Amino acid sequence: MALKRVVLTGLGTINPLGHDVASTWAALMAGKSGAGPITLFDATLFRSHFACEVKDFDPNVWFDFKEQRKLDRFTMLAYVAALEAYKDAALQAEQDPTRVGVIIGSGMGGVSTFEQQVTEHEQQGDGVPHYSPFLIPRIITDIAAGYIAIHLGLKGPNFCTTAACASSAIAFMSAMNHIRLGKADAVLVGGSEAEICPISIGGFNALRALSTRNDEPMTASRPFSASRDGFVVGEGAACVMLEEYEHAVERGAHIYAELVGYGSTADAFHLTAPDPEGEGAARVMLDAVKDAAIRADEVDYINTHGTSTPIGDLAEAKAIVKAFGEHAYEMNLSSTKSMTGHLLGASGAMEALITTLALYHQVVPPTTNHAEGDEDPNIDPRLNFTFNTPQQRELRYAISNAFGFGGHNAALLFKRYNNE
């Protein structure tokens, strides 16, 4: 059967750089950092004292007191991003709700609620269980998709995808396939994470995964630079409306870009480290190119996974050269985690949204925090990481990479939309 085309007709986000799409894009173009000292708890006893928090988020603006008792922060952020994307897409009132789905990826779900509830139980000291009746719905990763569907009345496919830091990229694949196969007209898809809490920061510190540049948090995330020492954890949510092309055109929807291919592979190598030669990462990008039925040399930009870890960045750089050969040196590459931080399970959706905006505006966002002389001698110097300054150029096709603990690799391939 002929697969249906999939386009993006609505965008929404709340993240360390902004509470909506417009402010986020402006911050990216200005090279702003979302990092700063952790305010959500006292982190002074940890090796890392900073993160990329969503700033000035007031749940009272969105939820009454009773509703807040039911929701973890990750669900709240997911709803805020989803609502912006849903309004932006402007589906007509007559749209059949059974044909619109919601798929939200998350790696950790309500981890802060889980920690809080266990801590409070232990502090009671009487051995009697003191758990909230909302504990389970607050912590399960699928609750964000369910909550959004309930409040927007969307009755199509509804679930969560979990694949560590590739979680929400996998959500895009699932949504794309539902639309391609005619099982939905549209899917509100995205990711959300709100894991800045002691158990999360402590766990990543124990893995030696986080940067410890406590004296300079704003420039701590340094993807592909020699002085990189780990990622900066971030929180936030991003959602888009994926829609069947003919359906979107018929209703006169505004189209930002087209999602034309994806790849999904496994390293089968290590629990937390990538294959150092980037074999699985190279395959996943080529799988996306094959799925889109284009040539590898038609890809102009890659929004890299680029977490600022010593091993991960080197492996991805090798994978890009392995996959694209000489064309790798003609592409622009960038890691926007240098500004947003690493949103973990939400990063795939966040960077899919940024990649879409890059195609839409024909501008490559930068990889910030790189200093002259800080080039990594192990990374091919011919690769263009778009350091520090955005670059305007013609962009036809762009890939967004997302890799996760467990060896999960995902790549989404987007096409500029020009009314073809």
Print pLDDT tens along the chain (420 aa).
799 999 999 999 999 999 999 999 999 999 999 999 999 999 999 999 999 999 999 999 999 999 999 999 999 999 999 999 999 999 988 899 999 999 999 999 999 999 999 988 878 877 788 899 999 999 999 999 999 999 999 999 999 999 999 999 999 999 999 999 999 999 999 999 999 999 999 999 999 999 999 999 999 999 999 999 999 999 999 999 999 999 999 999 999 999 999 999 999 999 999 999 999 999 999 999 999 999 999 999 999 999 999 999 999 999 999 999 999 999 999 999 999 999 999 999 999 999 999 999 999 999 999 999 999 999 999 999 999 999 999 999 999 999 999 999 999 999 999 866
The pLDDT assigned to 420 comes to 60
d(C-alpha 357, C-alpha 301), whole Å: 12
The pLDDT assigned to 120 comes to 85
| Both tokens assigned to 158 | 């509804």
Nearest alpha carbon to residue 334 among 284, 300, 375, 298: 300
The pLDDT assigned to 122 comes to 78
What are the DSSP E strand ranges found in 165-205?
186-193
Residue of 49, 178, 247, 305 marked active site:
305
* CATH number reported for the structural domain that contains residue 243 in this entry: 3.40.47.10
> What is the maximum alpha-carbon separation in the chain?
68
Residue of 19, 49, 52, 165 marked active site:
165
DSSP class per residue in 101-162: EEEEE-SSSSHHHHHHHHHHHHHH-SS-----TTHHHHH-TTHHHHHHHHHHT--S-EE---
Tell me how many domains the chain contains: 1
Within a domain: 394: yes
d(C-alpha 220, C-alpha 143), whole Å: 33
- Residue located via tokens 């948090």: 217
Catalytic residue list contains 165: yes
- Left (φ > 0), alpha (ψ -120 to 50) or beta: where does 334 sit? beta
Within a domain: 357: yes
The pLDDT assigned to 340 comes to 98
Nearest alpha carbon to residue 233 among 197, 275, 206: 197
pTM of the model: 0.97
Within a domain: 53: yes
Nearest alpha carbon to residue 15 among 52, 45, 43: 52
The answer to whether the beta carbons of residues 187 and 157 sit under 8 Å apart is yes
Catalytic residue list contains 342: yes
Residues recorded for the chain: 420
Residue of 49, 178, 247, 342 marked active site:
342
DSSP class per residue in 263-317: EEEE--S-SSSPPTT-HHHHHHHHHHHHHHT--GGGEEEEE----S-HHHHHHHH
Domain extent at residue 273: 6-416
Within a domain: 1: no
Can you tell me whether residue 354 is helix, strand or coil? Answer: helix
| Both tokens assigned to 261 | 């291919």
